[in-house]
Amino acid sequence: MLEAASRGRSARAESVETRRSRWPAALSAGGGALALAAAALPLVIAAVAIAVQRPGALSDGDQAADELALIRSTHFAQLVGNYSRFEWNHPGPAWFYAMDPFYVPLGGHTWATYVAVLALHAVIAALVVAAVWRWAGPLVALVTAGLVLLYVRTLGESVFRFFWPPYSVMLPMLLLFVLAAAGAAGSTPALVGALIAGSYVVQLHVGTVPIVGAVIVAMVAIRLATRSLGEPAATGPAARFLRPALTAGGGGVLVLMWVPVAVDELTGHPGNLTKLFEFFRTPHEPHPYGAAVSALGRLLEVSPLRDFPTTFGPESAAVPPSRLLAVLAFAAASAALAALALRLRDRFALALGLLLVLALPVVTVAITRIVGPLYPYLLVWVTTLPLLLAVGWTALVARARPWARAPRPLAGAVAAALCVAVVALAAGRTAGFERLPPALGDQADPETAAAWAITEAALASEPRRSVRVVVADDRWIMASGLVLQLQKQGWTVTADRDHAFIWGSQTEPTGTEAVELVVVSAGGAPGLERQRPDLRPISHTADAELLVGHAPGAGS
């Protein structure tokens, strides 16, 4: 009788375990692979479409300046990040070097910058989903892929095609938090991966230093404090080999990422890190904490139902109630995630919840320290925090296995519906990218193309020597496009001392330039001709005039 009862209990336990595994089993065969494909393919398809079309793109302004830096990285000559209007550069060139494998094989055309950005986003999106799949399983990976696709829809597909550093921070920040949570939960390769992702984000935008530093320190602290909850289980000989290999390889990548920065610091006069230190050591007028909380709340409100803001509105110590509610609700949901994860002994969800709780005060203080106006584009990466919160709750729900008692047909139907929804989201994003205007370059000045046609014709008979570009009346946006095209045509380009920082230290004037190209606003040419009789107007656009002459010191 006791034996029969024991067999009954065993059968019941076996039955419960079988029910618990139904839903994950329904997804494990292809759910993770589907999640990877869904997250990355819309971006890949958009990149391939541009590579096939090969549009005649021409950029100016920031995009031209960044492409000049990208060109230098193809020769291992880019030691710092993209330029800042404060005449220093962001900490490192990782973003440029990460795009080289996509940009160089396509011939270095301007349209290839679109391809490189899209391809890089695809790789990072796949890494986010892969990390979640590895740690939380295919169900959570599928939900994460769906959330990433919704996020792309929320900000707009054009944002993820735009060749501009502030719009390239979001997905790497997402990856940083996911890897940091996994690293805090006991994965050493994920810990090293978080250091790489954090370095990448910091090099891309110096404004992320506070949050990246806080996340890395918290990751280590949480890992040490929660070791009693258990270590990740080994999954066989392959895993025992792979983990040390990933850790060692990641460590090598981490060191290589900072080599250009170290070279610049040791050879620069001063180095870029010294410039950054001196700039941020200088006191600047802080923004009110109320304005910082208001900006944070507005960014947390961004969703498929609420667009990304173009402005935060006037700064004030008072916080609008809706924005304060968004911050408080996010804090409560993050704290609840951490508390329930602790109860369920889920180290990944616990770490993610704690990191998100920590992010709120760190981001708030960082916002108060922004120098100059509070432009939303500086903080676009903050919009990833709600997505991370959703990933954390999904992982926790998956850990609790609410489908354990669900009938097999219901579990299968829900799993199938989830797969269909993710595929539909991927199809929608693919269509969204297809609806974007042709990738003809990002021209902040609509007259840049006409100015380049004029310049190209005027210099056609000149041998490809050195040319100094002089910018008057703040026409640097147009001039940036001209500098890029001149360099692509084989000219050695320098600039006047007031603008050389935009296009890199390599464009500092030498005094031996053969030709000088002057860009001035409409109506400014006569005054320059009186000062410099050697300058001759070559033509004009609707709002700018172009002059050419022999550079001072030419032939010396």
Least confident of 7-21, 263-277, 348-362, 506-520: 7-21
Residue with tokens 């609840």: 336
Given a cut of 50, whether residue 9 has pLDDT beyond it is no
Cα-based angle 5, 10, 13 (whole degrees, multiple of 5): 125
Q: Which two tokens stand for residue 154?
A: 């929320």
Q: Look at the chain and count its residues.
A: 556
- Cα–Cα distance measured from residue 226 to residue 224, given in angstroms and rounded to the nearest whole number: 6
Residues 425-448, mean pLDDT to the nearest whole number: 91
pLDDT at 494 over 90: yes
CB 455 within 8 A of CB 71: no
Average pLDDT over residues 527-543: 83
In this predicted structure, the answer to whether residue 7 has a pLDDT above a threshold of 60 is no
What is the rounded distance in angstroms from the CA atom of residue 17 to the CA atom of residue 293?
Answer: 47
- The pLDDT score that the predictor gives to residue 387 is 98
Query: Residue 554 — very low, low, confident or very high, per pLDDT cuts 50/70/90?
Result: low
| Buried b / exposed e along 153-162 (16+ C-beta atoms within 10 A) | ebbebebbbb
Secondary structure class of 469 (helix, strand, coil): strand
Say whether 104 sits in a helix, a strand or coil.
Answer: helix
DSSP state letter for 539: E
Q: Where are the alpha helices (DSSP H) in 369-463?
A: 385-400, 408-434, 448-458
Across the range 248-257, mean pLDDT stands at 96
pLDDT of 373 higher than 90:
yes
Helices 209-225 and 170-184, axial angle in degrees (round to 10): 20
Check residue 550 and give its pLDDT.
Answer: 83
Contact status, residue 156 vs residue 71, Cβ threshold 8 Å:
no
Does residue 168 register a pLDDT over 60? Answer: yes
Q: What's the pLDDT score for residue 6?
A: 47
Confidence of residue 235 (pLDDT cuts 50, 70, 90): low
Domain spans in the chain, listed from the N-terminal domain onward: 29-434, 448-550
The answer to whether residues 295 and 326 touch, using CB atoms and an 8 Å cutoff, is no
Hey, CA dihedral for 112, 116, 122, 125, is it positive or negative? negative
**Stretch 257-285: mean pLDDT:** 96
Residues 6+ apart with CB under 8 A from 104: 74
> Over the stretch 284-334, which tens digit does the pLDDT of each residue have?
999 999 999 999 999 999 999 999 999 998 877 789 999 999 999 999 999
- Least confident piece of the model among 65-79, 245-259, 329-343, 463-477: 463-477
Written as six digits, the tokens of 375 are: 């432009």
Q: Residue type for 25, please? A: A
Tokens of 197: 């992702």
Among 108-117, 131-140, 142-151, the range scoring the smallest mean pLDDT is 131-140
Band of residue 120 on the pLDDT scale cut at 50, 70, 90: very high
Q: How far is the C-alpha of 258 from the C-alpha of 91, rounded, in Å?
A: 9
Q: Range with the lowest mean pLDDT among 56-60, 233-237, 480-484? A: 233-237
Whether the Cβ atoms of residue 100 and residue 73 lie closer than 8 Å to each other: yes
Predicted pLDDT of residue 12: 39
Could you report how far apart the first and last alpha carbons of the chain are, in Å? 109
Inform me whether the pLDDT recorded for 86 exceeds 50.
yes
H/E/C letters for each residue in 329-368? Answer: HHHHHHHHHHHHHHHHCCHHHHHHHHHHHHHHHHHHHHHH
C-alpha span between 119 and 215 (Å, rounded) = 27
Average pLDDT over residues 138-163: 97
How many whole angstroms separate alpha carbon 379 and alpha carbon 405? 44
How does pLDDT run across 14-69, given as a tens digit for each residue? 343 443 444 555 566 688 999 999 999 999 999 999 999 999 889 999 999 999 99
Measured in whole angstroms, how far is the alpha carbon of residue 450 from the centre of its chain? Answer: 32
Average pLDDT over residues 344-358: 96
List, as one string, the DSSP characters of 519-535.
EEETT-HHHHHHH-TT-
* Positions of E strands within 234-369: none
Separation between Cα atoms, residue 71 and residue 87, nearest integer Å: 20
Amino acid 413: pLDDT: 82
Cβ atoms 161, 439 nearer than 8 A: yes
Angle between helix 237-267 and helix 188-204 axes, rounded to 10 deg: 30
What's the whole-number mean pLDDT along residues 122-127?
A: 98
Instruction: Please report the pLDDT score of residue 481 as a whole number.
Output: 97
User: Do 231 and 290 contact (CB within 8 A), yes or no?
Assistant: no
Region for 97 from its dihedrals, namely left if φ exceeds 0, alpha if ψ lies in -120 to 50, beta otherwise: alpha
pLDDT of residue 416: 87
Residue 8 confidence (pLDDT): 45
Asked if 343 and 399 count as a contact pair (C-beta separation under 8 A), the reply is no
- Two structure tokens written together for 210: 């506070």
- Tokens standing for residue 30: 């292809």
**Which spans in 60-164 are helix H?**
61-73, 94-103, 111-136, 138-155
Query: Hey, what long-range contacts does 154-158 have (CB within 8 A, 24 or more apart)?
Result: 154/302, 154/303, 154/304, 154/307, 154/308, 154/383, 155/302, 155/308, 155/380, 155/383, 156/308, 157/46, 157/429, 157/432, 157/433, 157/435, 157/436, 158/436
